[in-house]
Amino acid sequence: MRSTLLQLSILIAVLVTSIVIFSLGFTQRDHYGLLDLIKGRALTGDIANPHSSPLIPDTKTPPSPTLPIPQPSAPPKTTTARTNNNLLAQVNHLLAQLASSVVPSVVSIDTSTTVDQRRLVPNGPLGIFGYVQRHKRYRKPGLGSGFITSKEGYVITNHHVVAGVDEISITTHQGQTYQAEWIGSDAIVDIAILKIIDPENKTFPALKFGDSNQTRVGEMVLAVGNPFGLSETVTKGIISAKQRQLSDATNQYLQTDTVINPGNSGGPLINVHGEVIGVNVALFTGQQNVKVWQGVGLAIPANDVQEVFEAIVHKKPLIRGYLGVDLAQVTPYIARQVGMTRSQGGLVTRVEPNSPAATAGLRPGDVLLSINGKVSASASDLINTIRSKDAQTQLTLEILRDAKIVKLTATISAKPDNTSITMRGDTSATGQSLTAELGIKVRNLLPKERAAYGLAQQTSAVLITQVDPAKPAAKRLRKNDLILSINRNTVRNVDELYQLLGSLPDKQQSVMTLAREGTLFYAVLNPGK
């Protein structure tokens, strides 16, 4: 018991001694400790506020700078916000002004086509006396967009908008409707030239062409047209890409993210200067395994359009050289792989069979460096050089093959028409026999195939399962293409396809609308030629 009390006493003594020593260490400071509490010292304001200034400044340590007392913050300045708002208002005003200056030159194109629908009906009960052919005629309307390109009333639109139609009428921005005559078309580029028939010879507001070669990726553009019959619809976007496929056998397109819908075909793509830099032609709907819209539109470059216009209206020669090659840009990686010290020229990725390139001996994997001694920095420059040459022009090609420089000689030819398909126009021919004449086999889509293509169950489409390489369809159609419509009549199943093919007008162009890997394209059918 005594030892326990002794230990407790020693512990209390040590604790008290420690407190005293700790408190004495702060005697030179204004500190309120345990001894102050025991002595009954009052808690003063200076001690209570450790951040208050000492009564006697410490001469050894310079006094801390006095912090300003926070004041209520003043309202923020609005100069920057107002400036930004003014800039946005100016941009908004200029865009509206640009659209209003373009819209008066954009027209709505209405077409009418006579459809002679033929079908076999039973002769007698249950067809015991065979079948007889019955004809049913009706007028099929169509709709598209176009724009006036001269004060005399010349109008540019897509060829597929007016191909095979019987009547064409044009409605202007002012709401006046005129009959129009077809002046000419280039099915390869998909451009048609119309002329407004105006007895009064009025002057029409016209748009000017811009230089599509100078168009840069990222530039802002407007697409104007009449989608779904809604006149003067304007959408805004940018140029997303140029020359999606570097080939002298296919059309080049400008890619844009402006919204392009059915009825926009033939409408202009406008730059910020109010110039036409392209003609809207197609909508990309996504790869067949992608089930969402990709927001990609395609437009024919203005330079190609103007070339067709000058050839048809002013009878200028149309130069469109063809070698038969697909090229890819030579990247630094490709340059290293083939032994080049820098990137230049174009890598040959495909050679068209029986083409001038094939005859000259070009092969996939060659790097085309120069044409007639002129070294090209890019594949697009090479394509433009080929297209600028007249048919029968001889070219000296310098290529890199197996790390060696090789020279070849090639003769340019005219670009072939891979758009039009010639077929017989036998009025007694059935749809089945005409598909055989074209060289295709078709069937209805299965539900799982619709899912793979990203097509809704109600979307009209028929699948091409086979294309005979020796038949006319081989120049334009491929296996797994989807047939969507003929002369704007939807193709919901194989029976409807046969019926529409069997009722095509003789010696008159018709348009088949198809889709390939998400991209819409057109084939021009020429029955009876």
Question: 145-189, pLDDT tens digit by residue?
Answer: 999 999 999 999 998 888 878 889 999 988 899 999 999 888 888
Q: What percent of the chain has pLDDT over 70?
A: 71
**Residue 508 scores a pLDDT above 80:** no
Instruction: Yes or no: say if 275 and 207 are a contact pair by the CB < 8 Å rule.
Output: yes
Please give the helix or strand (H or E) that residue 118 lies within, else none.
Answer: strand 106-122
pLDDT of residue 37: 44
DSSP one-letter code for 95: H
Q: How far apart are CA 98 and CA 52, in angstroms?
A: 67
Pairing of strands 394-401, 106-122: unpaired
pLDDT of residue 523: 86
pLDDT at 425: 53
> Are the beta carbons of 195 and 184 closer than 8 angstroms?
no
pLDDT score at 411: 94
> According to the model, what pLDDT value does residue 520 have?
74
Q: Tell me which residue of 295, 293, 291, 292 sits closest to 450, measured CA to CA.
A: 291
Asked whether residue 52 carries a pLDDT value surpassing 50, the answer given is no
Phi, psi for 152 (deg, rounded to 5): -75, -10
Note the Cα 85 to chain centre separation in Å.
31
CB 393 within 8 A of CB 360: no
Coil/strand/helix, residue 35 = helix
Residue 272's pLDDT is what? 92
pLDDT of residue 178: 94
Is residue 273 predicted with pLDDT exceeding 80? yes
Lowest mean pLDDT among 62-71, 291-300, 374-383: 62-71
Q: CA separation (Å) from 461 to 337, 420, 514?
A: 44, 21, 9
| Range 55-65 average pLDDT | 43
CB within 8 A of 472, min separation 6: which ones?
Answer: 421, 422, 423, 437, 438, 439
Mean pLDDT score, 113-131? 63
Using DSSP, state whether 303 is helix, strand or coil. helix
Q: What is the pLDDT of residue 465?
A: 94
Beta-carbon-side half-sphere exposure of residue 521 (alpha carbons within 13 Å): 20
Mean pLDDT of the chain: 78
Q: CB count, 10 Å around CB of 372?
A: 12
The model scores a pTM over 0.75? no
- Environment class of residue 529 by beta-carbon count within 10 Å: exposed (0-12), middle (13-18) or buried (19+)? middle
Q: Is the model more confident about 242 or about 172?
A: 172
| CATH no. for 321-414 | 2.30.42.10
pLDDT in the model for residue 206: 95
Q: Which conformational region is residue 229 in: left (phi greater than 0), alpha (psi within -120 to 50 degrees), or beta? A: left
Question: Which residue is it, tokens 């809704």?
Answer: 456
Strands 191-196 and 154-157: antiparallel
Q: Which two tokens stand for residue 235?
A: 């959408």
Residues 391-430 as b/e (b if ≥16 CB within 10 A, e otherwise) read eeeebebbbbbeeeeeebebebbebeeebbbebebeeebb
* N-to-C CA span, the chain: 130
The two structure tokens encoding residue 176: 């006046």
Of 434 and 364, the structure prediction assigns the larger pLDDT to: 364
Equal fold, 91-316 vs 420-527: no
pLDDT for the residue numbered 122: 66
Residue 452 per-residue DSSP state: H
At 198, is the pLDDT very low, low, confident or very high (cuts 50, 70, 90)? very high
- Separation CA 52–CA 504 (nearest Å): 100
User: Is it the case that residue 385 has pLDDT exceeding 70?
Assistant: yes
Is pLDDT at 310 greater than 70 in this prediction?
Answer: yes
pLDDT band at 265; cut points 50, 70, 90? confident
Q: What is the pLDDT of residue 156?
A: 96
Give the whole-angstrom CA distance, residue 239 versus residue 259.
Answer: 12
Chain centroid to CA 64: how far?
Answer: 66
Among 219-228, 241-250, 391-400, 515-524, the range with the most confident prediction by mean pLDDT is 391-400
Predicted local confidence at residue 263, as pLDDT? 65
% of the chain exceeding 90 in pLDDT: 27
Give how far Cα 431 sits from Cα of 109, 277, 494, 501, 506, Å. Answer: 30, 41, 10, 5, 14
Where are the domains positioned within the chain?
13-55, 91-316, 321-414, 420-527
Residue-level length of the chain: 529
Q: What's the CATH number of domain 91-316, 2.40.10.120, 1.10.10.10, 3.40.50.300, 3.90.1580.10?
A: 2.40.10.120
CA of residue 39 relative to chain centroid, distance: 88
pLDDT greater than 70 at residue 45: no
Distant-in-sequence, close-in-space partners of 349: CB < 8 Å, separation ≥ 6: 326, 327, 328, 364
> What is the mean predicted confidence (pLDDT) over 472-499?
87
Those residues whose C-beta lies under 8 Å from the C-beta of residue 287, and which sit 6 or more positions away, are 517, 518
pLDDT above 80: residue 472: yes
Confidence of residue 487 (pLDDT cuts 50, 70, 90): confident
pLDDT in tens, 326-340: 998 888 988 988 888
User: Is residue 71 pLDDT above 60, yes or no?
Assistant: no
Q: What is the pLDDT of residue 510?
A: 82
Question: Which class does domain 420-527 fall in?
Answer: mainly beta
So which residues are the catalytic ones? 160, 190, 265
- Tens of pLDDT, residues 77-94: 556 666 678 888 888 888
DSSP code of residue 473: G
485-491 own/partner pairs: CB under 8 Å, 24+ apart: 485/460, 485/512, 485/513, 486/510, 486/511, 486/512, 486/513, 486/525, 487/113, 487/115, 487/140, 487/164, 487/511, 488/113, 488/140, 488/142, 488/513, 489/115, 489/140, 490/460, 491/460, 491/461, 491/462
Produce one character per residue of 160-199: b if its CB has 16 or more CB atoms within 10 Å, e if not: bbbbbbeebbbebbeeeebebeeeebbbbbbbbbbbbebe
- The pLDDT value given to residue 134: 66
Which of 7-21, 212-226, 230-244, 479-493 shows the lowest mean pLDDT across its residues? 7-21
Query: What integer is the mean pLDDT of 217-223?
Result: 91
What average pLDDT score do residues 366-389 get?
88
